[in-house]
Amino acid sequence: MTDLSKQLGQLFIIGFPGAEPPKPFVNFLAEEQVGGVILFEENCPGHNAVRETIRQIRSQYRATIPFIAVDQEGGRVSRLRGAPAEFRSAAEYGAEKSVERFREDYRRSVVFMESIGINLNLAPVCDLFLDQNGTCLKERCFGRTPQEVIPFVETSIMTARAGRILSCLKHFPGLGATAIDPHYKTSVIPYDELVWEQRERLPFAAGVGAGVDLIMTTHVRLLGVDDTIATGSHIIIQDMLRKRLGFDGPVITDDLTMAGAADLGEIGPRTVRAFNAGHDLLLFGRDYEQSMRAYDYFVDAYRHGDITRDRVEEALGRVSGIKFKLDSIMLP
């Protein structure tokens, strides 16, 4: 029987601080064949520099292609600055109802991102900007109603696919009805499943219908659904996301180093709980040392039976499936 513990690195996407990848980070990628890397603005000081960083990252992989992910949403959440990568915020396009303008601006960005080696954009944002005090989502949402948001979500997915880049819907099950930023504290939202079905669900459903590749959850507690935050909730992932949306692609966590995930315990236990709840990919921000500790804890949990072989096989199947798709769309 295959020793799956040697493949567990494929379930992690991790980041690093600064303009250049630190040597321990690069060694970790090579030794554990980590699933991919997320780039932040500080990692992208210039277009030529980030191209070289991506080349260095890719050179560490033997038999698989790594995810090279960014949050290139437009506006203030733009990891790549300057033309042609940078474009306006979602709120601006939404206010103008200019789907065609968004399509053209985003197309230029996608073509450029693909040309330097990025293959996964953690966008579009599906959230409805319902709480105007919400600083986390300020300028990041296309509108306040599903009808306003859906055309941009669909256009984003189709434009990325045409440019040979994967898309990811976020932040499931919907973050727009709270002012609390999960970077600093667990978000809490009072609505129940009926409200969700008629409102937050709709942009995500449209994205699934348009063929999105991944879905990202976030650290939010839906008081009318489950006491456990979405990151660790079987109900939200297995019932609401898998069954009701009918999505069978990879589900990725929001950054597990965020303070909003603290309800699930220290970094190791929260990683295991997120995975056992149904996530297939585990995302970590700039603190690669935390991601390394989480990885060691995760491997031990698998070897001691706290993570089942079936759950690992399921997740690895989804990850390898999307990477096979990535290989195919990158062919000339």
Q: Kindly state the helix (H) or strand (E) to which residue 214 belongs, with its residue range.
A: strand 214-217
**Tokens 């315990």 sit on residue:** 265
* Partner residues linked to 120 by β-bridges: 69, 166
Q: Is 279 a catalytic residue?
A: no
**What single string gives the DSSP state of each residue in 72-104?**
EEETTEESS-STTT----HHHHHHHT-HHHHHH
Nearest alpha-carbon partner for 93 in 125, 130, 136? 125
Q: Which of 254, 255, 279, 280 is catalytic?
A: 254
Q: Which of 47, 183, 263, 306 is catalytic?
A: 183
Count of C-beta atoms within a 10 Å radius of residue 286: 17
Q: Report d(CA 118, CA 113) in Å as an integer.
A: 5
The answer to whether 254 and 218 are in contact (CB under 8 A) is: yes
Q: Is 181 a catalytic residue?
A: no
The answer to whether 161 and 204 are in contact (CB under 8 A) is: no
Active-site positions read: 183, 254
